[in-house]
Amino acid sequence: MAMSPEEKRVYLLLKAVIFHYHGLDDLEKRDLDRTAEDLQAPDEYQWALDFIAKDYITAFDRARDYLNDIIADYTKEKRVELINMVWQANNLKGYVTEMEATAMLKLAKDWNVQKELVDLVLK
């Protein structure tokens, strides 16, 4: 699937901000690095890391505002695909923390895909 630079930025920011929500661990860092490599998106990855580093404390809320502006134009299928990607990435380590789940629920609510996220969780 070919992605535009904007889509790569959205994908990497979403994944990075959820991983950073509780403090990035080594497994998550390797997953982010691999994702950026797979997407051939070093510039977009650096942009996402810089976005978070600008103010770590407000990174999630700023990312949420940024993503909500862009994702409003995305199809429902694309919004579900993004939420699913983050859910699957978090499950790589074998669990999802309460903070990560809360963050994903907030985004799912913003994007009007809460039911789809709950369905994913119950699978």
3-state secondary structure of 1: coil
pLDDT at 1: 56
Residues 6+ apart with CB under 8 A from 55: 62
What's the whole-model pTM score? 0.87
Q: What is the pLDDT of residues 17-58, one digit of tens each?
A: 988 877 788 888 999 999 999 999 999 999 999 999 999 999
pLDDT at 70: 92
Q: What is the pLDDT of residues 71-123, one digit of tens each?
A: 988 999 999 998 888 888 878 778 888 888 888 899 999 999 999 999 988 87
DSSP secondary structure letters along 56-79: GGGHHHHHHHHHHHHHTTS-HHHH
Q: At what angle do helices 5-20 and 42-54 cross, to 10 degrees?
A: 40
